[in-house]
Amino acid sequence: MRRALAAAVALLLATGCGIGAEEEPRALPGTASASSSSPAPAPTGSQAVPVFLADADGLVEVERSLPPAPGPEVLLLAVLEGPTVAERARGLRSVVPPEATTSAAAPADGVVTVQLPEVDPIDDAGTNDELLGYAQIVLTLDASDEVSGVLFERGGEPVDVPRADGSLSPGRPARAADYAALL
């Protein structure tokens, strides 16, 4: 059995993948021209991104090291992960439970749409924690250069969320400015 497997592997290695060499480079569909003198560098490393957590006085900005240009899903996960051990020791917390959202769609005209589950744990968090929870999400997502607001939906319908001034966002995107008083 081992000899048969070794022979099959050797045969595959000897024959290659069946794609012959080409004399001139050519562009692949959806890529830059093959005559380009230098390819665009791939994003590497990470960047410091603001994430907002709650303390006794409101919200504070902390930094997370995330991949370059993180999308809304990555930013939302950073909120849902909550504070580090050191941040918890400083009294920071997240009022957004992990089951609070189901997804965050890429920005359309600068507005990210966050889908809420049918039963929203943020709504059950109490008045101040409810406000802080929505504020954590909005401030974190809106800190991205590509985002100008956050729309919350449940079952495809807009959800009115509380703003720091006590009003609701009536089916309109919430913006960082709506929660500036909490910082």
Give the CA dihedral 154, 158, 159, 161, nearest 10 degrees: 140
Two structure tokens written together for 117? 């589950």
For residues 149 and 55, give the distance between their C-alpha atoms in angstroms, rounded to a whole number. Answer: 24
pLDDT at 170: 87
Q: Is the pLDDT of residue 96 over 70?
A: yes
| pLDDT-derived band at 97, boundaries 50, 70, 90 | confident
Residue 97 is encoded by which pair of tokens?
A: 């439970």
Least reliable range by pLDDT among 10-19, 84-93, 137-146? 10-19
Report CA 12 to chain centroid distance, whole Å: 41
3-state helix, strand, coil in the chain (%, to 5): 30, 20, 45
Contact status, residue 164 vs residue 134, Cβ threshold 8 Å? no
DSSP conformational letter for 10:
H
**For helices 72-81 and 127-142, angle between their N-to-C axes, nearest 10 degrees:** 140
Residues 6+ apart with CB under 8 A from 153: 113, 114, 115, 116, 159
Taking the C-alpha atoms of residue 102 and residue 100, their distance in angstroms, rounded to an integer, is: 7
pLDDT band at 100 (very low <50, low <70, confident <90, very high): confident
Q: Would you kindly state where each structural domain of the chain is located, as residue ranges?
A: 47-182
Q: Which whole number is the average pLDDT over 112-120?
A: 84
Altogether, the residues listed in the chain come to a count of 183
pLDDT at 126: 52
